[in-house]
Structure 1
Amino acid sequence: MPATPNSPVRAVVLADSDTRWKWGALTARALTPGAEVGARLLRGRATPTARQLADTGVAADDARETTLTGFLDEVAVPPAPHTPAVHTPAAPAGGDRAAPYDVLVLACVGHTVQAVLQGLARRWPDTTRRPVLVTGYCGVVYEKLTEGLLLRHGADLLLAGSPWDARRFRETLTGVGADARSVATWPLPFLGGTPHDPEPAARGDRPFRVVFAVQPSVPDGPAARRYLLDRAIGHARRHPGREVVLKLRSAPGEHTTHVEETPYQRLAARVRGGLPANVRLAYGHMGELLDTTDLLVTVSSTAALESLSRGVPTAVLTDLGVREPLGNHWFTGSDCLTSWDELDAGHLPEADPHWLADRGVTAPSAAAPGAGARQALAELLAEADGPGLA
């Protein structure tokens, strides 16, 4: 039976990294207020550690690691005895064949999402109601747009992080002859937070804080990464009254979605003479660090969107060019593209407000962000029979 107003929605998030867990959990809770949300962390190279989960700032209720097969076993309803099946999980006690969850949020890379969709299509009885399948992207979509969308196609809701993304998604899917009705605009759920207040630094209550949000694979070469570190250190030396913070993604031995071949910790340890007194490395929750940030610097991290949503001056570096492999081309037109030379000279970028609105960073005051996605989910949950899986 579909969920009713008197029965709480049961949701579970399948995530394969710390950043996708953060997106998936916040999405599940915002899409289904009051829902019971479980966490299933896919066992693999990027399975988040307890420290990484804590850094996301999103507590994981009923969290445990799982394999892809284990997840399918857990969420799929066993077919009736007369229905042939490749794999038949043990039937729930009492013969109840109702689905254990109402909503599955697939916060994984595209190939994993495709594997879950195909796995459920093979296991799910045609006559049995199934959960609503939700997927999307946890940040900036700057590469493999067509491939990624087709891998995720087949979910009931394909969430786009901005009006601009929603247009691109629909145009791409329609252009290859696929159904684009599943696309719904859903702003990145971790945007917002405490608005930027420049007064404490201006009064001297604390140093002007520059945060360099590093990325595990952008840029990917040691020479380029050493250059960016040297420029951050140089900025600190030119501005001794400022504090420069290198916001790190993972500790040694931990992994994220992308492999980090040359960690900044290792490069920082090799700086001749050591780091200046006004430079430090930091882990932790990005939102808490942004509470006291006066300038966010990055190559193309999604942290730029978090920063912009708070009104923090945000610099997207052009020192290595503006190129698709770097992802900074996504910020073209934002007025945030900046070099270290400009930052050394005191420049503080001001983002274009129209660009911010179109990229989902800000929303018109009259708009209810994500209202369409919530309505679509409510309608799917209210259906007497869930949609079929192709």
Structure 2
Amino acid sequence: MPPRTTKPPRIAVLADSDTRWKWGALTAGRIVPGPSMEAGPLDGTQVTAALDGFLLRGRATPTPRQLAEVGVRADSLREVTAVEFLRTMERESYDVLVLSLVGGGVQAMLHGLARVFEGRTDRPVIVTGYVGVVYEKLADGLLLRHGADLVLANSRQDADRFRAVYDGVGADSSTVTEVALPFLGGTPYTGEHDPYTVVFAAQPSVPDSRKDRTYLLDRLVRHARLHPEREVLLKLRSKPGEHTTHIEELPYQKLAQRHGDLPPNFRLVYGNMGEVLDRTDLLVTVSSTAALESLHRRIPTVVLTDLGIRETLGNHHFTGSGCLASWEQLDAGHRPEADEEWTARQGVCADGSYATAFDAARERIAKLLATPGGLPPITPYYTPVTAPGYLPGILARHHLGPDGTPLPGAPAHDKDPGPVRQIVRRAARGAYRHGVQRVAPVIRRMGEL
């Protein structure tokens, strides 16, 4: 098979939520040049790549509004089941495939693709990784991603941790490739705006209790009242009824509606995080990846300690950052200063090295695309031999058997669903989201009586 570096690369991205579509598509633009994306060339000359997007059908499939907010364009974008996607990979030829999914989804696709390309050498280079901060299920998530040609680590610290996990179980760690978060960028912070703007970056599932979320909202509103000269914004990820990477049972919008009289300098905002950061003077969060975006721009950033520094909150990841503080301290005028050594290890590239952060990934992909005779078979760490009690369940959730083939009764190819089927799908998603955000909390409260 001749090397595949003589023509512009063709890229596919499979994602299962709005945030993962953003990460996957922007990563594709960084590691292989693509349309409307800032990325360096593979060989020193500018090339153009075709980007085809696939959205894995499920509870978090993004709505048109969410996709528009992400703002990433693709040559084509359509919704598919896992089996439909694998059938597309049988027919179509791609150079690079980015799997931007939860760990179980990545593992299922790796086994399905291994079956699709069994006996073939013309498979794409497979890339996967994480959307943001990795603060839980490190070993589980990493081993579910093993088998990809590149497992991207968003920082030096993550790269070290990833390799240690793979080496510790005897898995190949050479696939771990250090990069940075692909959505860092924007104008560096140069000084206070008028009015001074405080932004709280909300998260769908952190914290997850009504008590804690109400507390954070109360403190944000209190800060607005204490500082009427400031603009205080609650930055929200999604609107009620929409889902992101994580399930949000208690949207802040609904808590705010019940809050009563809100100060005039307090507002709820949506939109692209980068655009919000353009006017931010102080970014506050529990543990959102938005903190890394903010630190990249050198915006004063606070990771809250009000609810404790705990693994379940993810704010333990920021120990040593210089950013940990409480609302009491912020109300009194505290302005944090990030630790330069810590930020450097986290890949936020505030030192200006972001332009070269993806060079290693580009070089590795270029070498793989030029491999004489094509790429080797896909070999995940988990197999029916190494994980016979775990792997079949993961594959079955995507209608795949233990050998990666579609199970009997798997959804048929549905290239262009009719209006009736589209209505049924929307209704089913609406019922699911209603159950998550309204019925489930009521049942949980009843169980606590």
Q: TM-score, normalised by structure 2?
A: 0.79
- Conservation of the 8 A alpha-carbon contact between 1:318 and 1:339: yes
Say whether 1:380 aligns with 2:368.
yes
Counterpart AA for 1:354: E
Cα shift readout 1:212-256 (whole Å, capped 9, x = no counterpart): 000000000000000000000000000000011000011111111
Once residues 325 and 74 of structure 2 are traced to their aligned partners in structure 1, the CA distance between those partners, rounded to angstroms, is: 37
Once residues 161 and 84 of structure 2 are traced to their aligned partners in structure 1, the CA distance between those partners, rounded to angstroms, is: 34
Once residues 366 and 267 of structure 1 are traced to their aligned partners in structure 2, the CA distance between those partners, rounded to angstroms, is: 41
Say whether 1:109 aligns with 2:109.
no
Once residues 42 and 317 of structure 1 are traced to their aligned partners in structure 2, the CA distance between those partners, rounded to angstroms, is: 34
Name which of 353, 360, 365 aligns with 2:347: 360
Name which of 284, 288, 295 aligns with 1:308: 295
Name which of 204, 207, 210 aligns with 2:198: 210
Cα shift readout 1:296-347 (whole Å, capped 9, x = no counterpart): 0000000000111011100000000000000000001000011000100111
Q: What aligned pairs does 1:253-292 form with structure 2 within 5 A after superposition?
A: 253-272=241-260, 274-292=261-279
Say whether 1:12 aligns with 2:25.
no
* Superposition deviation, residue 51 in structure 1: 0.8
Q: For residues 113 and 2 of structure 1, do their structure 2 counterparts lie closer, same or farther at Cα, with a shift above 3 Å needed?
A: farther
1:320 maps to 307
Q: Superposition RMSD on alpha carbons, in Å?
A: 1.3
Residue identity over aligned pairs, in percent, reads 62
- Conservation of the 8 A alpha-carbon contact between 2:295 and 2:350: no
Q: What aligned pairs does 1:161-200 form with structure 2 within 5 A after superposition?
A: 161-199=154-192
More relative contact order in 1 or in 2 (CA 8 Å, sep 6+)?
2
- Conservation of the 8 A alpha-carbon contact between 2:298 and 2:350: no
Counterpart AA for 1:171: A
| Structure 2: gaps (5+ residues) | 34-47, 380-449
Q: For residues 291 and 3 of structure 1, do their structure 2 counterparts lie closer, same or farther at Cα, with a shift above 3 Å needed?
A: farther
| Structure 1: gaps (5+ residues) | 78-98
Say whether 1:222 aligns with 2:210.
yes
- Conservation of the 8 A alpha-carbon contact between 1:356 and 1:362: yes
Cα shift readout 1:258-314 (whole Å, capped 9, x = no counterpart): 111110000000112x21100000010000010000000000000000111011100
Q: TM-score, normalised by structure 1?
A: 0.91
Aligned length: 363
Once residues 230 and 181 of structure 2 are traced to their aligned partners in structure 1, the CA distance between those partners, rounded to angstroms, is: 30
- Conservation of the 8 A alpha-carbon contact between 2:56 and 2:81: yes
1:54 maps to 68
Counterpart AA for 1:196: Y
* Superposition deviation, residue 366 in structure 1: 6.3
Name which of 234, 240, 245 aligns with 1:246: 234
Query: Secondary structure of 1:210's partner?
Result: strand
Counterpart AA for 2:280: T
Counterpart AA for 1:27: T
Once residues 2 and 238 of structure 1 are traced to their aligned partners in structure 2, the CA distance between those partners, rounded to angstroms, is: 67
* Superposition deviation, residue 125 in structure 1: 2.8
* Superposition deviation, residue 4 in structure 1: 4.0
Once residues 281 and 350 of structure 2 are traced to their aligned partners in structure 1, the CA distance between those partners, rounded to angstroms, is: 22
Cα shift readout 1:45-85 (whole Å, capped 9, x = no counterpart): 000111111111212330111110011000135xxxxxxxx
Once residues 366 and 163 of structure 2 are traced to their aligned partners in structure 1, the CA distance between those partners, rounded to angstroms, is: 21
* Superposition deviation, residue 37 in structure 1: 0.8
Once residues 364 and 75 of structure 1 are traced to their aligned partners in structure 2, the CA distance between those partners, rounded to angstroms, is: 40
